[in-house]
Amino acid sequence: MIWRSVTLVSMGLLGAWIGWSVSDRSIPYLYWDFKTLNEPAPGGTLFIEYKVRRDKMCSTIAYRQIIDGGGFLLAIPPSANFPHGVEPVGEERLATSVEIPQSAQPGHSTYRVTRAYQCNWVQTLFAWPILDGPHDFPFTIRQGG
């Protein structure tokens, strides 16, 4: 009799844990208050600073692109990959650097980032990440020289 009760309670707890893991789809990082720190030329480096609040540690992949002054979409390989998340949990200011391709055309441009988070075993096992974005950050590519 006691083993049935223990088994039922154990299965109930296991089911609740699996249900919570499946339903845990909230975006773990909040980015806000961004600013570009420079106006790079083609072949240069763009620096962006922003505030971030992390609610939990998650594996993160950032897929990054630039839409240059001519309206062309340029992928930036490789995408940023943080297999163990970015520490610490809480708020802080971060800066990121983005290499501007030589082929980029000058003018008003956009840095676009889409982040994929894997925060628990369900998201990892079934390749079911939490997607955040795309987020666009306007900046200017200046003439080279």
Total tally of structural domains belonging to the chain: 1
Q: Looking at the domain assignment, is residue 133 inside a domain? A: yes
Q: Looking at the domain assignment, is residue 12 inside a domain? A: no
Q: How are beta strands 29-36 and 107-118 bridged, if at all?
A: unpaired
- Residue 123 tokens read as 């998201």
Residue 12 to residue 87: CA distance in whole angstroms: 34
Q: What confidence category does residue 45 fall into, taking pLDDT thresholds of 50, 70 and 90?
A: very high
Name the amino acid, one letter, at 39.
E
Q: Looking at the domain assignment, is residue 105 inside a domain? A: yes
Q: Domain holding 121: CATH number? A: 2.60.40.2550
Please tell me the predicted confidence (pLDDT) of residue 104.
92
Q: Looking at the domain assignment, is residue 16 inside a domain? A: no
Residue 16 to residue 3: CA distance in whole angstroms: 20
As a whole number, the mean pLDDT across the chain is 86
Please tell me the predicted confidence (pLDDT) of residue 142.
93
Helix (H) or strand (E) holding 9: helix 2-23
Please tell me the predicted confidence (pLDDT) of residue 66.
93
Residue with tokens 């089911």: 15
Q: What is the pLDDT of residues 29-43, one digit of tens each?
A: 888 888 999 999 999
- Residue 102 tokens read as 């030589």
Count Cβ neighbours within 10 Å for each residue of 68-83 and write b for 16 or more, e otherwise.
bbeeeebebeeeeeee
Q: Looking at the domain assignment, is residue 5 inside a domain? A: no
Q: Looking at the domain assignment, is residue 11 inside a domain? A: no
Range of the domain at 114: 25-141
Residue 65 to residue 74: CA distance in whole angstroms: 6
Please tell me the predicted confidence (pLDDT) of residue 84.
66
Q: What is the pLDDT of residues 68-111, one digit of tens each?
A: 999 999 988 766 677 666 667 888 888 888 999 999 999 999 99
Q: Looking at the domain assignment, is residue 80 inside a domain? A: yes
Tell me the mean pLDDT in the region 15-27: 80
Q: Looking at the domain assignment, is residue 9 inside a domain? A: no
Q: What confidence category does residue 16 fall into, taking pLDDT thresholds of 50, 70 and 90?
A: confident
Residue 57 to residue 55: CA distance in whole angstroms: 7
Cβ(26)–Cβ(75) below 8 Å: no
Cα(first)–Cα(last) distance of the chain, in Å?
83
